[in-house]
Amino acid sequence: MANTGAALRYQTHWKSAAELNALPQDIHFKPLKLRHLEAILPAGLQRGIIAELHGVRSVGVASLCFHVLAEATAEGEVCAVVDLNGSFDPASAAAAGIALERIIWVNCSGNPEAAMRACDLLLHAGGFGVVYLDLSEASARLLNKIPVSYWHRFRQAVEHSPTILLVSAPTPQAGSRAALRLEIRLAAVAWSGQERFTVLRGLKNVVTRGGKMAPVRPHILFLKAA
């Protein structure tokens, strides 16, 4: 290393640190456009933020997260899924339009510490369009064990980067570190057919946006059944 440093000093392109020009810090990345969600996110999903979706089971949180991954992989981006309880189903993901060849799936088998460490490694490695941390099936007891310091690390890791950290959980987890928070609540269930032969056609959900961005009025979102 000493020999290499001495050789570099004699090259004409070598400059001292005092001679280098500082690069601007306000680097802007193009938001991820989300079709069919323009009413909720008219400008798309901003880069370099923590975006959190929360709601009880079967209200469409996973469907919205899959939609984000589908839009990102359709743009050629490589994404990662950190799956706490092994609930990620590749067949359902492919049916939702996710390009599985552009997905890295980390199954943490119910270990919250492993999930947070895996997410930390992926965010600091860089190069991902979306890192999806799925805590949807976690109990309150497990979620309470997650140190708050992780969310500070995650926010610092994604700032000034093209990566979006997408988090799904039953309740808000990232707190003020989340730049965007979407709460999803079930409004109605759409059925068709006669009694005893009814078919689920979709769910009508109320989506409320909050977080550091200014809150907006609730929106009705209709999710069709496959």
- What confidence tens digit (pLDDT) does each residue in 71-121 have? 999 999 999 999 999 999 999 999 999 999 999 999 999 999 999 999 999
Alpha-carbon span 125 to 72, nearest angstrom: 18
Write the pLDDT tens digit of every residue in 17-30: 666 666 555 567 89
Whether this model's pTM surpasses 0.85 = no
Q: What average pLDDT does the structure give for the chain?
A: 83
8 Å CB contact between 38 and 216: no
What CATH code is assigned to 28-224? 3.40.50.300
Whether the per-residue pLDDT at 131 is higher than 50: the answer is yes
Q: What is the pLDDT of residue 8?
A: 46
More confident residue, 207 or 18: 207
Percent of the chain with pLDDT over 90: 51
Whether the per-residue pLDDT at 220 is higher than 60: the answer is no
Whether the per-residue pLDDT at 194 is higher than 50: the answer is yes
More confident residue, 78 or 59: 78
Whether the per-residue pLDDT at 214 is higher than 80: the answer is no
